[in-house]
Structures are given as C-alpha cells and as structure tokens.
Structure 1
Amino acid sequence: MSVRPVTVVTGAVGGIGAALARELAPGHDLILSGRNVGALEALCAEVGGTPLVLDLTRPESFEAALAGLGRVSNVVHNAGVVELGAVAEQDHAVWSHTLAVNVVAPAELTRLLLPRVRAERGSVVFVNSGAGLRANAGWGSYAASKFALKALADALREEEAAHGVRVTSVYPGRTATPMQEKVRSQEGAPYTPEAFVRPESVAALIAFALNAPRDALLPDLSVRPGPQ
C-alpha cells in the first residue's frame, strides 16, 4: 500500500490555494496555512486538512509553529501580497512588507522544512507570477519580490537536485481571485473574472507538477488566459 504524500500549502484560503486544496485532497494529506483563521478551519473541515497558523511577517516564529509537524513531502508557497504603486511613491514600508511575505517567508519556511522534504524526495513549488518574468510600470515592489522568488527557486533547484528534491516555479497570468479583484481596483479597471484564468486551472497545473512521474522535472510552468 502506497503512503500518501503530505503537502503543505500556504495562502490556502485564497483563490488558487483553496482550489489547490480541493484538487489535492483525494490523494494528499494536507497541511494548510492562511491568514483568515475562520476560513482556514472551514476549508480544513471540508478537505480533511490540518491547519497551520503562521504569521508570514515573523519568520522567527516559524520554527516553533512547525515543531509539531511529522512527515512533509511537498511544500507549495502560494501566499503573497501585492500593493501597486510607482517607485517614486512607495516608501520602504511597502517594500519591506512585500519582500518579507513574498520572499523571506518562503525562504525561511523552505529552509526549516527541507530535511523533511529531502527524506521524502518531494517537491517545492513556488507560485510566482507573470510579474516574476517582466516588470511593468506601477508593479516595481511586487515584481521585484517575484523576480527574487524566481532566483530563490532557481538556486534551490540546483542545490537540492542531489537530494532528489524537485523545484518548480509556476507563473500564472491574471487569475480570477480576490487578489486580482484588489489589483483591478488599484488599477481603476473593472474586475471581469470571466476574462482571466480560473484558479482551478492553475491548481490543476500545480497538482500535475506535484504528481508527475519521478523521472520528470518541470522547472518552469507558465499559464495565461486562453481564448474565450
């Protein structure tokens, strides 16, 4: 009888995170992290997951929060924040918060969980963004964090190959999520979810990377809205 993989998902109550939890639930034991405790508990009850309370702005608190965990096969870094604004207008507080949540937290969480993931010859997936490949006006702080996240993933992939750990970056285009609704509001544009990628489609792609045969490595995956 095969042992079910244990997969940690951050940002689990967001659009992509919740869709991923539902996508993985039939075949994975899930450890789910999110900011909205009520929504997180409801999702865990729905999919049979275990809640993991993390404050991503306090990486020094991660070790204690993770101490009670057993096996971990995979880690999906899905949590993220975005605040649009020109470089001339955004102060250091925005940059510090964005980089802390989008880069420092995934780096520290990965470091602490790597011994468990190595033991399982598992996977680490970073949910990046199209902004991690190209920076447009008004997206400086967010794009900088996502470029840094790509660098983290690329370095980790090379470092962990000898341990049998697979590392994948996923670059979704605009996706119909609450974060995208916030972005459209900041852009002063209407939110039209039917024009964007469904979070379930991104979740299916992440699940494909996690469940791929061991002889396949999918280092970079991009997904864009398809023709309507």
Structure 2
Amino acid sequence: MPTAMITGASRGLGPAIARALAPTHILFLAGRPSAELDAVAEEFGATTWPVDFNAPDAIAAVVEPIVELDVLIHNAGVAYPGTVAESTVDEWQDTMAVNVVGPVALTLPLLPALRSAGGHVVFVNSGAGINASPGLASYTASKFALRGFANSLRNDEPSLRVTSVHPGRIATEMQERLVAYEGREYTPTQFLSPETVAKVIVDAVNAPRDAHIHEVIVRHR
C-alpha cells in the first residue's frame, strides 16, 4: 500500500484524516509524543514519528529512514485569537514556527522520498490564507505564507502534486476557543465537520494521476 504522513494527527481534523486514509494507506503520524497521538496510532495500526516543529533542526534526523513517501499532509497548526494590537511577538513567533517553518523543515528532508514516489504534498490551509480573518492576525499571516510555500513547491518540484486545501471554519477545539474569544456560543453544527474536510482532502489525494488539483476551497453550506 502507499504511505502517507500526517502531522497534527492527535486531535481535531488529524484523526479524521487518518480514519479516511487508513483503508488505502500505511500511515505515519508525525507530532510531539503524547498519549493522544499514541491512541490514534494504535487505532489505525500506524507508526509515530517524534516531530516537534518548535525544534526544526532535529526533524531531518527523525525522518531520515523514510526513503519513499507517497503523501505528506501538513495538518498541524496553531492559532492565537487576537487583532494586531492584541497580539504579542511571542505569539507571532510560535505561529510562524508551527504553521510555516515547521512544514518547511519537514518537507525539505522528505523531498528525495517524495520525488522517488512521485508524491503528493497537501497543505491544510484556511480561508484565512485567501482573505484576512478578523481577530486572527498572526494566523492569517502564517496561512498566507503557507500558501506561498505551497505555490513555490509546486513551481519548483514538477514531479510532485501539491494541493492547498482552504476549508472554512471546522468544528474542533481550536474553533471552540475562537468562538469564545468572539463572545459567542459554540454550536458545532454551524461549522464544517472534521469528517467532511477529511473526505475532501482524501478525494484530492485519490484523484486520478493525471489530475493535479492545485487548490480546493470548502465552505459550510
């Protein structure tokens, strides 16, 4: 079976992506070691890879054993609700480390493995990567940067397929914190379900080989 590495698989959208890919792919779950990540790995018979985006210099050594990789899904992300004036430099640094520098630090050492497989890199971006989201200053900036990295990777690596997925707001713990910041009541049915977004991602991964889906925009009806 083909292989797929997923970051941010311990909670939120990550387990839904793992569940949707498990029937057709051997799963590599990358992230900080945790009981939650181990539980997801056990459920799907996956292996875990100790990748910490706040320690990018250590990532290359962790993934060195991987010589061929069919799919790399960048799903890990953080968001600090706040306007520009409310934000702090520490929040900006952490947001950029996890949402931008981390994906770069993981993708670079995996390029030989991805090239060998004629692989597919999927970036779970956001509507904030297309239009600035009010109250999410650092997050918006990071998602614009992530979209730029995806576009550059697509231009520079013609043997790979590169897809940016831009979902609307998803019913996750991150969304619950954002709604609390906005002073509203959290109602999960008002947002996209993780399962819906996971299916869209997997549909892009499983598209015919002659189809290169550059961007997907998904919104709640």
Q: How does 1:204-219 map to 2 (within 5 A)?
A: 204-219=199-214
- Number of equivalenced pairs: 221
Match of 1:154? 151
User: Secondary structure of the equivalent of 2:157?
Assistant: helix
After the TM superposition, which of the residue ranges 121-130 and 45-54 deviates more from structure 2?
45-54
Shift of 1:46: 0.7
User: Secondary structure of the equivalent of 1:31?
Assistant: strand
Match of 2:84? 87
Q: Return 5+ residue gaps in structure 2 as ranges.
A: none
Match of 2:30? 33
Over residues 74-96 of structure 1, what are the superposed CA-to-partner deviations in whole Å (9 max), with x where a residue is unaligned?
Answer: 10000000001121221211111
Q: How does 1:21-60 map to 2 (within 5 A)?
A: 21-35=18-32, 37-60=34-57
Partners of 2:59 and 2:33 lie apart in 1 by 18
Match of 1:193? 188
Partners of 1:65 and 1:190 lie apart in 2 by 42
Shift of 1:35: 3.7
After the TM superposition, which of the residue ranges 140-149 and 81-90 deviates more from structure 2?
81-90
Partners of 2:31 and 2:155 lie apart in 1 by 29
Q: Return 5+ residue gaps in structure 1 as ranges.
A: none
CA contact (8 A) 2:33 2:50 kept: no
Match of 2:172? 177
Partners of 1:63 and 1:36 lie apart in 2 by 17
TM-score, structure 2 as length reference? 0.97
- Give the ranges of 4+ consecutive aligned residues of structure 1 lying more than 4 Å apart after TM superposition: none
Match of 2:136? 139
Over residues 171-191 of structure 1, what are the superposed CA-to-partner deviations in whole Å (9 max), with x where a residue is unaligned?
Answer: 010111111111112222111
User: Secondary structure of the equivalent of 2:85?
Assistant: coil
CA contact (8 A) 1:13 1:36 kept: no
Match of 1:97? 94
Alpha-carbon RMSD: 1.1
